[in-house]
Chains A and B, each alone.
Chain A
Amino acid sequence: MEVTDLEKIVSVLKEKYEEDILYAEMLYDFPTVSLKKEKIVEIIQYLRDNSETKFEFLTTLCGIHYPELNQIAVMYQLHNMMTGKRVRLKTYLPIELPTVTSLTSVFPGANWMERETYDFFGVIFEGHPNLKRILNVDEMIIFPLRKEYPLEDQVREDKNDAMFGR
Chain B
Amino acid sequence: MSTLTEDIRMADRPEGLEGQGFFATKLQTVVGLARKNSIWPLPFATSCCGIEFMATMGAHYDLARFGSERLSFSPRQADLLMVMGTIAKKMGPVLRQVYEQMAEPRWVLSVGACASSGGIFDTYSVLQGIDRIIPVDVYVPGCPPRPEQIIDGVIKIQRLVETESLRRRDSPEYKAMLNTYGIE
A residues neighboring B (CB under 8 Å): 135-137, 144, 149-156, 159, 164, 166
If over half of A's interface residues share one DSSP class (helix, strand or loop), that class is named, otherwise mixed; here it is loop
Asked if A153 and B90 make an inter-chain contact with CB atoms under 8 angstroms apart, the answer reads no
Q: Which of the listed residues A144, A150, A152, A153 has the most CB atoms from chain B within 10 Å of its own CB?
A: A153
B70 smallest CB distance to A (angstroms):
34
Residues of chain A within 8 A (CB-CB) of B122 are: 151-153, 156, 159, 164, 166
Residues of B in contact with A, size category: under 10
Asked if A151 and B128 make an inter-chain contact with CB atoms under 8 angstroms apart, the answer reads no
Q: Which of the listed residues B89, B122, B124, B125 has the most CB atoms from chain A within 10 Å of its own CB?
A: B124
Closest chain A residue to B123 by CB distance?
A151
Taken together as a complex, chains A and B put the C-alpha atoms of A100 and B6 apart, in Å, by 75
Residue B111 at the chain A interface, CB threshold 8 Å: no
Taken together as a complex, chains A and B put the C-alpha atoms of A136 and B124 apart, in Å, by 10
The verdict on A144 contacting B124 (CB below 8 Å), with A137-B89, A137-B90 known, is yes
B82 smallest CB distance to A (angstroms):
24
Asked if B128 and A156 make an inter-chain contact with CB atoms under 8 angstroms apart, the answer reads yes
B residues neighboring A (CB under 8 Å): 89-90, 118, 122-126, 128
Other-chain contact of A136, B118, B125, B128 (Cβ < 8 Å)? B125
Residues of chain A within 8 A (CB-CB) of B124 are: 144, 149-154
Residues of chain B within 8 A (CB-CB) of A137 are: 89-90, 125
Q: Please provide the 7 A-B residue pairs with the shortest distance between their CB atoms, ordered closest to farther.
A: A137-B90, A152-B122, A156-B128, A153-B128, A153-B124, A151-B123, A144-B124
Residues of chain A within 8 A (CB-CB) of B118 are: 153, 156
Taken together as a complex, chains A and B put the C-alpha atoms of A81 and B126 apart, in Å, by 38
Taken together as a complex, chains A and B put the C-alpha atoms of A59 and B118 apart, in Å, by 32
Closest chain A residue to B91 by CB distance?
A137
Taken together as a complex, chains A and B put the C-alpha atoms of A155 and B90 apart, in Å, by 15
Residues of chain A within 8 A (CB-CB) of B89 are: 137
A66 smallest CB distance to B (angstroms):
21
Taken together as a complex, chains A and B put the C-alpha atoms of A153 and B90 apart, in Å, by 14
Residues of chain B within 8 A (CB-CB) of A155 are: 128
Taken together as a complex, chains A and B put the C-alpha atoms of A135 and B89 apart, in Å, by 11
Taken together as a complex, chains A and B put the C-alpha atoms of A28 and B89 apart, in Å, by 39
Given contacts A136-B90, A136-B125, A144-B124, 19 further A-B contacts (CB under 8 A): A135-B125, A137-B89, A137-B125, A149-B124, A151-B122, A151-B124, A152-B122, A152-B123, A152-B124, A153-B118, A153-B123, A153-B124, A153-B128, A154-B124, A155-B128, A156-B122, A159-B122, A164-B122, A166-B122
Taken together as a complex, chains A and B put the C-alpha atoms of A112 and B60 apart, in Å, by 40
A17 smallest CB distance to B (angstroms):
39
B127 smallest CB distance to A (angstroms):
8
A-B CB contact pairs (8 Å), 16 listed: A135-B125, A136-B90, A136-B125, A137-B89, A137-B125, A144-B125, A149-B124, A150-B124, A151-B123, A152-B122, A153-B122, A153-B123, A153-B124, A154-B124, A156-B128, A164-B122
